[in-house]
Structure 1
Amino acid sequence: MNEQTPAAPAPTTSPVLTRHTDAETCADPSSVITLLAESGATADGFTSYRSHFAKGGAGAPAHFHTRATELFFVISGSLQVLIGEEVTILNEGDFLAVPPHTPHAFAAAPGCEADVLFVFTPGMGRFDYLRLLGRVTRGEADPKEIAESSERFDNHYVDSPAWRAALERPA
Protein backbone atom coordinates (compact mmCIF):
# COMPACT_ATOMS: atom_id res chain seq x y z
CA MET A 1 0.00 0.00 0.00
CA ASN A 2 1.50 3.32 -1.05
CA GLU A 3 0.50 6.18 1.26
CA GLN A 4 0.88 9.70 0.02
CA THR A 5 1.18 12.71 2.26
CA PRO A 6 -1.47 15.25 1.32
CA ALA A 7 -0.20 18.63 0.19
CA ALA A 8 -0.57 21.45 2.68
CA PRO A 9 -3.29 23.91 1.69
CA ALA A 10 -2.08 27.22 0.36
CA PRO A 11 -1.98 29.83 3.14
CA THR A 12 -4.53 32.63 2.89
CA THR A 13 -2.26 35.11 4.65
CA SER A 14 1.48 35.58 4.92
CA PRO A 15 3.44 34.75 8.06
CA VAL A 16 3.95 37.75 10.36
CA LEU A 17 7.21 38.34 12.21
CA THR A 18 7.75 41.39 14.43
CA ARG A 19 11.14 41.73 16.05
CA HIS A 20 11.07 43.23 19.53
CA THR A 21 13.61 45.86 18.48
CA ASP A 22 11.37 46.95 15.57
CA ALA A 23 8.03 47.04 17.42
CA GLU A 24 6.33 50.40 17.93
CA THR A 25 5.47 51.25 21.53
CA CYS A 26 2.81 53.52 23.01
CA ALA A 27 3.13 54.64 26.61
CA ASP A 28 1.02 56.45 29.17
CA PRO A 29 1.62 56.90 32.91
CA SER A 30 0.21 53.46 33.77
CA SER A 31 1.24 51.20 30.88
CA VAL A 32 3.53 50.53 27.95
CA ILE A 33 1.93 48.90 24.91
CA THR A 34 4.08 47.10 22.34
CA LEU A 35 2.31 46.85 18.97
CA LEU A 36 3.09 43.41 17.56
CA ALA A 37 0.98 42.61 14.50
CA GLU A 38 -2.09 43.63 12.52
CA SER A 39 -3.02 41.27 9.73
CA GLY A 40 -6.33 42.81 8.77
CA ALA A 41 -10.03 42.17 9.17
CA THR A 42 -10.22 38.92 7.16
CA ALA A 43 -11.71 35.82 8.79
CA ASP A 44 -8.21 34.50 9.51
CA GLY A 45 -6.74 37.91 10.39
CA PHE A 46 -5.72 39.04 13.85
CA THR A 47 -4.35 41.97 15.82
CA SER A 48 -1.88 41.45 18.65
CA TYR A 49 -0.14 43.66 21.17
CA ARG A 50 1.53 43.31 24.56
CA SER A 51 0.77 45.60 27.50
CA HIS A 52 2.83 46.03 30.62
CA PHE A 53 0.74 47.64 33.36
CA ALA A 54 2.47 49.39 36.26
CA LYS A 55 1.36 48.58 39.80
CA GLY A 56 -2.24 49.80 40.01
CA GLY A 57 -2.19 50.61 36.29
CA ALA A 58 -5.49 51.28 34.57
CA GLY A 59 -6.44 49.14 31.61
CA ALA A 60 -9.74 49.49 29.79
CA PRO A 61 -13.15 50.47 31.15
CA ALA A 62 -16.14 48.18 30.62
CA HIS A 63 -16.76 47.60 26.92
CA PHE A 64 -17.61 44.93 24.37
CA HIS A 65 -16.82 44.09 20.77
CA THR A 66 -19.47 43.10 18.22
CA ARG A 67 -17.16 41.29 15.78
CA ALA A 68 -13.95 40.30 17.55
CA THR A 69 -13.04 37.72 20.15
CA GLU A 70 -10.42 39.17 22.50
CA LEU A 71 -7.79 36.78 23.87
CA PHE A 72 -5.75 37.49 27.01
CA PHE A 73 -2.61 35.63 28.11
CA VAL A 74 -0.95 36.78 31.35
CA ILE A 75 2.82 36.58 30.87
CA SER A 76 3.56 37.74 34.42
CA GLY A 77 1.87 39.47 37.32
CA SER A 78 -1.88 39.63 37.88
CA LEU A 79 -4.70 41.23 35.90
CA GLN A 80 -8.12 42.08 37.34
CA VAL A 81 -10.79 41.36 34.73
CA LEU A 82 -14.52 41.91 34.36
CA ILE A 83 -16.24 39.13 32.36
CA GLY A 84 -19.94 39.83 31.97
CA GLU A 85 -20.78 40.93 35.53
CA GLU A 86 -18.14 38.80 37.29
CA VAL A 87 -14.81 40.23 38.40
CA THR A 88 -11.90 37.81 38.68
CA ILE A 89 -8.11 37.84 38.84
CA LEU A 90 -5.97 36.29 36.11
CA ASN A 91 -2.48 35.28 37.21
CA GLU A 92 0.73 34.38 35.39
CA GLY A 93 0.03 31.69 32.80
CA ASP A 94 -3.76 32.21 32.78
CA PHE A 95 -5.59 32.49 29.46
CA LEU A 96 -8.99 34.06 28.75
CA ALA A 97 -11.04 34.27 25.53
CA VAL A 98 -13.87 36.84 25.57
CA PRO A 99 -16.38 36.29 22.74
CA PRO A 100 -18.20 39.11 20.93
CA HIS A 101 -20.97 40.95 22.81
CA THR A 102 -19.51 40.06 26.24
CA PRO A 103 -18.89 43.10 28.45
CA HIS A 104 -15.37 43.05 29.84
CA ALA A 105 -12.78 45.37 31.39
CA PHE A 106 -9.29 44.99 32.79
CA ALA A 107 -6.61 46.64 34.91
CA ALA A 108 -3.57 45.55 36.88
CA ALA A 109 -4.82 43.68 39.94
CA PRO A 110 -4.67 45.75 43.15
CA GLY A 111 -1.05 46.08 44.30
CA CYS A 112 0.26 44.20 41.25
CA GLU A 113 1.90 44.77 37.91
CA ALA A 114 0.76 42.80 34.89
CA ASP A 115 2.36 41.86 31.57
CA VAL A 116 -0.32 40.66 29.14
CA LEU A 117 -0.46 39.50 25.53
CA PHE A 118 -3.68 40.51 23.74
CA VAL A 119 -4.95 39.03 20.48
CA PHE A 120 -8.09 40.03 18.57
CA THR A 121 -9.58 37.78 15.95
CA PRO A 122 -10.62 38.69 13.38
CA GLY A 123 -8.20 41.56 13.34
CA MET A 124 -8.89 45.15 12.45
CA GLY A 125 -7.03 48.46 12.58
CA ARG A 126 -6.81 48.54 16.38
CA PHE A 127 -3.32 50.04 16.42
CA ASP A 128 -4.88 53.35 15.37
CA TYR A 129 -7.23 53.05 18.37
CA LEU A 130 -4.30 52.49 20.74
CA ARG A 131 -2.48 55.47 19.23
CA LEU A 132 -5.65 57.57 19.71
CA LEU A 133 -5.77 56.59 23.39
CA GLY A 134 -2.17 57.78 23.76
CA ARG A 135 -2.95 61.11 22.09
CA VAL A 136 -5.96 61.63 24.39
CA THR A 137 -3.84 60.77 27.47
CA ARG A 138 -1.20 63.31 26.38
CA GLY A 139 -3.86 65.98 25.74
CA GLU A 140 -3.23 65.96 21.99
CA ALA A 141 -6.75 64.76 21.07
CA ASP A 142 -10.25 65.31 22.40
CA PRO A 143 -11.63 62.40 24.50
CA LYS A 144 -14.86 62.53 22.47
CA GLU A 145 -12.87 61.12 19.53
CA ILE A 146 -12.81 57.81 21.40
CA ALA A 147 -16.60 57.66 21.62
CA GLU A 148 -16.92 58.77 17.99
CA SER A 149 -14.65 55.90 16.90
CA SER A 150 -16.64 53.04 18.51
CA GLU A 151 -17.91 51.55 15.24
CA ARG A 152 -14.61 51.96 13.40
CA PHE A 153 -12.67 50.13 16.13
CA ASP A 154 -15.49 47.82 17.33
CA ASN A 155 -15.07 49.13 20.87
CA HIS A 156 -18.39 49.90 22.57
CA TYR A 157 -18.28 51.25 26.13
CA VAL A 158 -20.91 50.21 28.69
CA ASP A 159 -21.63 50.95 32.33
CA SER A 160 -20.78 48.14 34.76
CA PRO A 161 -21.69 48.54 38.44
CA ALA A 162 -19.64 45.40 39.18
CA TRP A 163 -16.51 46.93 37.57
CA ARG A 164 -17.01 50.29 39.29
CA ALA A 165 -17.34 48.51 42.66
CA ALA A 166 -14.18 46.47 41.99
CA LEU A 167 -12.18 49.60 41.20
CA GLU A 168 -13.43 51.34 44.35
CA ARG A 169 -12.23 48.56 46.69
CA PRO A 170 -9.05 49.42 48.56
CA ALA A 171 -5.88 47.67 47.37
Structure 2
Amino acid sequence: MVTPAENPEALPPFVRRPADAEYVPLPHGGGFSLLADASDTGGTLGANALTLGEGADGARPHFHALSHELFYVAEGAAEFLLGGERSTVEEGGLVVVPPRVPHAFGAARGSTARLLAVLTPGVERFGYFRALGRIQHGLESFDGLRSEQDRYDVHFLPTPHPWR
Protein backbone atom coordinates (compact mmCIF):
# COMPACT_ATOMS: atom_id res chain seq x y z
CA MET A 1 0.00 0.00 0.00
CA VAL A 2 1.28 3.46 -0.88
CA THR A 3 1.18 5.86 2.05
CA PRO A 4 0.53 9.62 1.76
CA ALA A 5 4.17 10.18 2.78
CA GLU A 6 5.30 8.16 -0.24
CA ASN A 7 2.78 9.83 -2.55
CA PRO A 8 1.57 13.23 -1.33
CA GLU A 9 -1.18 13.18 -3.98
CA ALA A 10 -2.72 9.99 -2.53
CA LEU A 11 -6.31 10.42 -1.43
CA PRO A 12 -7.17 10.36 2.24
CA PRO A 13 -9.62 7.71 3.44
CA PHE A 14 -13.29 8.55 2.83
CA VAL A 15 -16.03 7.83 5.38
CA ARG A 16 -19.76 8.40 4.95
CA ARG A 17 -21.83 7.47 7.97
CA PRO A 18 -25.44 6.31 7.42
CA ALA A 19 -26.88 9.43 9.06
CA ASP A 20 -24.86 11.61 6.66
CA ALA A 21 -25.93 9.83 3.45
CA GLU A 22 -28.53 11.61 1.35
CA TYR A 23 -31.63 9.46 0.93
CA VAL A 24 -33.76 9.54 -2.23
CA PRO A 25 -37.12 7.83 -1.59
CA LEU A 26 -38.84 5.73 -4.23
CA PRO A 27 -42.62 5.21 -4.45
CA HIS A 28 -42.53 1.43 -3.82
CA GLY A 29 -41.24 2.00 -0.29
CA GLY A 30 -37.57 1.73 -1.18
CA GLY A 31 -34.95 4.29 -2.04
CA PHE A 32 -31.33 5.20 -2.70
CA SER A 33 -28.77 5.98 0.01
CA LEU A 34 -26.15 8.06 -1.80
CA LEU A 35 -22.87 6.92 -0.28
CA ALA A 36 -19.99 8.16 -2.45
CA ASP A 37 -19.85 10.16 -5.66
CA ALA A 38 -16.80 10.33 -7.91
CA SER A 39 -15.78 13.68 -6.39
CA ASP A 40 -15.66 12.02 -2.95
CA THR A 41 -13.15 9.38 -4.11
CA GLY A 42 -10.99 11.20 -6.62
CA GLY A 43 -12.90 9.47 -9.42
CA THR A 44 -12.02 5.95 -8.31
CA LEU A 45 -15.61 4.88 -7.64
CA GLY A 46 -19.16 5.84 -6.85
CA ALA A 47 -21.40 3.87 -4.47
CA ASN A 48 -25.01 3.73 -3.38
CA ALA A 49 -27.25 1.40 -1.44
CA LEU A 50 -30.60 0.69 -3.05
CA THR A 51 -33.61 -0.75 -1.28
CA LEU A 52 -36.31 -2.15 -3.56
CA GLY A 53 -39.87 -2.98 -2.57
CA GLU A 54 -41.31 -6.41 -3.35
CA GLY A 55 -40.79 -7.16 -7.06
CA ALA A 56 -39.87 -3.52 -7.84
CA ASP A 57 -37.65 -2.64 -10.80
CA GLY A 58 -34.29 -1.05 -10.03
CA ALA A 59 -33.20 -0.06 -13.54
CA ARG A 60 -34.46 -0.60 -17.06
CA PRO A 61 -32.01 -2.09 -19.61
CA HIS A 62 -28.93 0.08 -20.04
CA PHE A 63 -25.14 -0.12 -20.22
CA HIS A 64 -22.16 1.88 -19.03
CA ALA A 65 -19.59 2.79 -21.69
CA LEU A 66 -16.77 3.57 -19.26
CA SER A 67 -17.34 1.78 -15.98
CA HIS A 68 -17.67 -1.62 -14.38
CA GLU A 69 -20.65 -1.97 -12.05
CA LEU A 70 -20.61 -4.23 -9.01
CA PHE A 71 -23.77 -5.30 -7.17
CA TYR A 72 -23.73 -6.99 -3.79
CA VAL A 73 -27.09 -8.39 -2.69
CA ALA A 74 -27.12 -7.49 1.01
CA GLU A 75 -30.70 -8.62 1.69
CA GLY A 76 -33.43 -10.47 -0.17
CA ALA A 77 -33.08 -11.55 -3.78
CA ALA A 78 -32.58 -9.64 -7.02
CA GLU A 79 -33.23 -10.54 -10.63
CA PHE A 80 -30.66 -9.40 -13.20
CA LEU A 81 -30.72 -9.24 -16.97
CA LEU A 82 -27.07 -9.60 -18.01
CA GLY A 83 -26.60 -9.36 -21.74
CA GLY A 84 -29.46 -11.62 -22.83
CA GLU A 85 -29.44 -13.92 -19.79
CA ARG A 86 -31.60 -13.67 -16.68
CA SER A 87 -30.18 -14.58 -13.30
CA THR A 88 -31.65 -14.48 -9.80
CA VAL A 89 -29.08 -13.71 -7.11
CA GLU A 90 -29.86 -14.26 -3.45
CA GLU A 91 -28.58 -12.53 -0.32
CA GLY A 92 -24.79 -12.67 -0.14
CA GLY A 93 -24.38 -12.93 -3.93
CA LEU A 94 -22.26 -10.69 -6.12
CA VAL A 95 -22.64 -9.54 -9.74
CA VAL A 96 -19.99 -7.63 -11.74
CA VAL A 97 -21.03 -6.09 -15.05
CA PRO A 98 -18.22 -5.04 -17.43
CA PRO A 99 -18.48 -1.89 -19.55
CA ARG A 100 -20.84 -2.06 -22.55
CA VAL A 101 -22.76 -5.12 -21.29
CA PRO A 102 -26.50 -4.36 -21.32
CA HIS A 103 -28.10 -5.04 -17.96
CA ALA A 104 -31.17 -4.39 -15.86
CA PHE A 105 -32.14 -5.39 -12.35
CA GLY A 106 -34.90 -5.40 -9.80
CA ALA A 107 -36.14 -7.19 -6.71
CA ALA A 108 -37.04 -10.78 -7.56
CA ARG A 109 -40.75 -11.51 -7.76
CA GLY A 110 -42.12 -12.07 -4.27
CA SER A 111 -39.00 -10.59 -2.65
CA THR A 112 -37.60 -7.27 -1.55
CA ALA A 113 -33.93 -6.50 -2.12
CA ARG A 114 -31.21 -4.31 -0.68
CA LEU A 115 -28.24 -3.86 -2.99
CA LEU A 116 -24.88 -2.16 -2.69
CA ALA A 117 -23.95 -0.81 -6.12
CA VAL A 118 -20.41 0.36 -6.92
CA LEU A 119 -19.39 1.95 -10.23
CA THR A 120 -15.67 2.10 -11.08
CA PRO A 121 -14.15 4.30 -12.28
CA GLY A 122 -16.54 6.68 -10.63
CA VAL A 123 -18.80 9.09 -12.47
CA GLU A 124 -20.64 11.97 -10.81
CA ARG A 125 -24.06 10.30 -10.57
CA PHE A 126 -25.84 11.63 -7.49
CA GLY A 127 -27.77 13.97 -9.81
CA TYR A 128 -28.89 10.94 -11.82
CA PHE A 129 -30.29 9.20 -8.72
CA ARG A 130 -32.08 12.37 -7.61
CA ALA A 131 -33.65 12.64 -11.08
CA LEU A 132 -34.73 8.98 -10.93
CA GLY A 133 -36.51 9.67 -7.65
CA ARG A 134 -38.39 12.60 -9.19
CA ILE A 135 -39.25 10.54 -12.28
CA GLN A 136 -40.58 7.62 -10.24
CA HIS A 137 -42.74 10.02 -8.21
CA GLY A 138 -44.17 11.46 -11.47
CA LEU A 139 -42.54 14.86 -11.01
CA GLU A 140 -40.39 14.67 -14.18
CA SER A 141 -40.41 12.80 -17.48
CA PHE A 142 -37.94 9.98 -18.15
CA ASP A 143 -37.12 11.68 -21.46
CA GLY A 144 -35.11 14.29 -19.53
CA LEU A 145 -32.53 11.64 -18.61
CA ARG A 146 -32.03 10.61 -22.23
CA SER A 147 -30.17 13.87 -22.93
CA GLU A 148 -27.90 13.18 -19.92
CA GLN A 149 -26.73 9.67 -20.92
CA ASP A 150 -23.11 10.65 -21.63
CA ARG A 151 -22.87 12.83 -18.50
CA TYR A 152 -23.94 9.99 -16.21
CA ASP A 153 -22.52 7.11 -18.32
CA VAL A 154 -25.93 5.45 -18.35
CA HIS A 155 -26.94 4.56 -21.90
CA PHE A 156 -30.50 3.28 -22.20
CA LEU A 157 -31.42 0.60 -24.70
CA PRO A 158 -34.17 1.43 -27.20
CA THR A 159 -37.63 0.78 -25.85
CA PRO A 160 -39.51 -1.39 -25.80
CA HIS A 161 -36.84 -3.82 -24.67
CA PRO A 162 -37.82 -7.12 -23.11
CA TRP A 163 -37.06 -7.05 -19.44
CA ARG A 164 -39.95 -7.97 -17.14
TM-score w.r.t. the length of structure 2 is 0.88
CA distance in 2, matches of 1:158, 1:45: 26
Indicate if the aligned counterparts of 1:72 and 1:97 stay in contact, CA closer than 8 A.
yes
Indicate if the aligned counterparts of 1:41 and 1:123 stay in contact, CA closer than 8 A.
no
Describe the SS at the equivalent of 1:34: strand
CA distance in 2, matches of 1:160, 1:89: 23
- Name the residue aligned to 2:71: 72
CA distance in 2, matches of 1:37, 1:108: 23
What is the CA-CA distance between 1:57 and the residue it aligns to?
1.1
Indicate if the aligned counterparts of 2:11 and 2:42 stay in contact, CA closer than 8 A.
no
Describe the SS at the equivalent of 2:116: strand
- Name the residue aligned to 1:125: 124
Indicate if the aligned counterparts of 2:61 and 2:161 stay in contact, CA closer than 8 A.
no
CA distance in 1, matches of 2:14, 2:162: 35
- Name the residue aligned to 1:23: 21
Q: Which stretches in structure 2 are left out of the alignment for 5+ residues?
A: none
Q: CA RMSD in A?
A: 2.3
CA distance in 2, matches of 1:29, 1:106: 17
Stretch deviating more after TM superposition (154-163 or 93-102): 154-163
Indicate if the aligned counterparts of 2:58 and 2:106 stay in contact, CA closer than 8 A.
yes
Indicate if the aligned counterparts of 1:82 and 1:163 stay in contact, CA closer than 8 A.
no
Pairing 1:98–2:97 present: yes
What is the CA-CA distance between 1:15 and the residue it aligns to?
1.2
Indicate if the aligned counterparts of 1:40 and 1:122 stay in contact, CA closer than 8 A.
no
- Name the residue aligned to 1:107: 106
Describe the SS at the equivalent of 1:141: coil
Residue type of the alignment partner of 1:83: L
Describe the SS at the equivalent of 2:134: helix
CA distance in 2, matches of 1:57, 1:95: 19
Indicate if the aligned counterparts of 2:60 and 2:105 stay in contact, CA closer than 8 A.
yes
Gap change, CA 1:7 and 1:92, over 3 Å in 2: closer
CA distance in 1, matches of 2:117, 2:67: 12
What is the CA-CA distance between 1:29 and the residue it aligns to?
1.3
Indicate if the aligned counterparts of 2:67 and 2:120 stay in contact, CA closer than 8 A.
yes
Residue type of the alignment partner of 1:32: G
What is the percentage of aligned positions where both structures have the same residue? Answer: 34
TM-score w.r.t. the length of structure 1 is 0.85
Residue type of the alignment partner of 1:156: H
Gap change, CA 1:156 and 1:43, over 3 Å in 2: same
What is the CA-CA distance between 1:140 and the residue it aligns to?
2.8
What is the CA-CA distance between 1:159 and the residue it aligns to?
4.5
Pairing 1:12–2:10 present: yes
